[in-house]
Amino acid sequence: MQYDRDGLIQILEQEALQRGEFTLASGKKASYYLDCRRITLHPQGANLVAAGMLSVIEAAGDLPAAVGGMAIGADPITASIVTIAGQRGLPLKGFMVRKEPKGHGMGKQVEGPVEPGQEVVIVEDVITSGGSAIKAVEAAEAFGLKVREVIGIIDRLAGGEAAFAAKGLKLTTLTTIRDFGIEPE
């Protein structure tokens, strides 16, 4: 599947963007809410997101060993990307980061076919302050992975890019809230 940015924007508008009064995870009030699980778990939405993120990854040159992010939000994104990569014969694997290390078994926080020293990309749905993706980056780095960049579906333009830059990381998003005629709050 080719990346169709206009198609992604259209499905985000139809399925994920809700207007009204909302309280965000940070406690801040907002006039809109983005429920990206409504597109990452949607057949066309999942394909559009994966094609877009895979195009960003491929444009960077050498493929990383894997893509992944914080469970649960990044899991369908990761699965969609590795599915399309597999269909194209690309050796891109996936991993997930638990919010906390397991309390049993091997006690892992990073799960999947990755090894310390490998280069990876962190994926995320909505970028606000960047907090969730930064936690994923920190866990991946503690495991020994080398994080190349963070790729998100949509940037609320609320400080996330600066937070990643402060950590020396590049943020790329497929869209921003301005694509929907909304100015940052």
**Annotated binding-site ranges for 5-phospho-alpha-D-ribose 1-diphosphate:** 98-99, 102, 104, 124-132
**Residues of each annotated binding site:** 98-99, 102, 104, 124-132, 156
**Residues of each annotated binding site for orotate:** 128, 156
Beta-carbon contacts of 168 under 8 Å, excluding residues fewer than 6 positions away, are none
